[in-house]
Amino acid sequence: MAKQVQKTSSKKLKLYIISTIKNKNKLPDDVAKNKCNYHLKPFLKAGLVIKKGYGVWELTKKGEVYLDKKELQLLSLDTSFVIGKTKVQKIRGHGFMWKLKLPSRAYYSQEQRIKLLKRAKKECLPLHNKTIKTTIRDHKVHLAGRSIIIYFNKEISYIGKTALDSYREALFEFNKLINILERYYGVSLRIRKNYKFKVCKNHYGDLDNEFAVHYRKEGQFVRVFDEGKEWLVIDFSDNKFTETETTQTGRAKYDMDNIITPTMNTLRHDPHLLKNLKEENEELKKMFADTQKIVRHLLEKEGSAINFDTFKY
């Protein structure tokens, strides 16, 4: 058995270790303890498992929800984020809000929606304009007459090497929720073979970004606006994450992958770039000021001879 485990992939080994903890409250006997500890570090950091005592391990309440051995989301936790001497850029997707448009066959009345939730043994709360509030997989869900709004749990992050990667991780979770909702509704929620949805909100943070680390040390934060809309924040999010974060709806993913990441990579390879640009800017400002002096002199002394040697650059 030990040899068989050794030959399995890192993902399957993680799955095997977590499954053993879930079923037996201990680490597997046929995997070296140091290897178990290595693979468990990201789960410990995420608060999904806990060591209760000598040789005794348990899944936390949060872990019981998100570490079902049949769920591939378990495997999305990347150990390179927590372990290793080489710093690897990681993007944290969070704060997702989704809107799923319903097909006409799922235009259920408020009474019907309450019945289907009770049948699924889900607690529900009627809100204004006949919307029903419930919780699925620890996410807040609002069932309206012609759409469903899903607010992802703010405590859960989706980590990737790019904003697109973290978005895909969140999309994987969103798809699971749709499958559950289809079981509740008893019909497919597709419209012409596809799900019609949009992301109403999403934020992406560049973890341990150099700017963010600097401002955290100074006890400061930064908010950047473009045409009155906030699109960039540098802060210490939720007192957990030091990150530079893109926040504008509809552009957050693009801004992170096409603006922030390339800029930070440029600075990484040329750390003196900002200093050099500042010095060049000061030089240009001085040249511009001297040019203004010449223009003013020409306007005042029109027709007279000018000794340009009196102007210094």
For residue 85, what pLDDT is reported? 36
Number of domains in the chain: 3
Instruction: Indicate the residue among 18, 52, 81 that finishes a domain.
Output: 81
Q: How confident is the model at residue 290 (pLDDT cuts 50, 70, 90)?
A: confident
The answer to whether residues 26 and 63 belong to one domain is yes
131 & 261 share domain: yes
Q: Residue 86 domain-assigned?
A: no
* 251 shares a domain with 160: yes
What pLDDT is recorded for position 86? 38
pTM of this structure: 0.64
Instruction: Among 29, 61, 81, identify where a domain stops.
Output: 81
Q: Is 306 a domain residue?
A: no
Query: 166 and 232: one domain?
Result: yes
Same domain, 70 and 195: no
Q: Are residues 68 and 142 in the same domain?
A: no
Residues 217-261: tens digit of each pLDDT: 888 888 999 999 999 999 887 777 889 999 999 999 999 999 988
Q: What is the 3-state secondary structure (H, E, C) of the chain?
A: CHHHHHHCCHHHHHHHHHHHHHHHCCCCCCCCHHHHHHHHHHHHHCCCEEEEECCEEEECHHHHHHCCCCCHHHHHCCHHHCCCCCCCCCEEEEEEEEEEECCHHHCCCHHHHHHHHHHCCCCCEECHHHCEEEEECCEEEEECCCEEEEECCCCCCEEECCHHHHHHHHHHHHHHHHHHHHHHHCCCCCECCECEEEEEEEEEEEECCHHHHHHHHCCCCEEEEECCEEEEEEEEECCCEEEEEECCCCCHHHHHHHHHHHHHHHHHHCCCHHHHHHHHHHHHHHHHHHHHHHHHHHHHCCCCCCCHHHCCC
pLDDT tens by residue, 71-129: 434 444 443 333 333 345 689 999 999 999 999 999 999 999 999 999 999 999 999 88
| 310 in any annotated domain | no
Residue 50 and residue 108 share a domain: no
One domain for residues 135 and 209: yes
* Residue span of the structural domain in which 180 resides: 91-269
Shared-domain flag, residues 76 and 103: no
Q: Is 216 within a domain?
A: yes
pLDDT at 48: 79
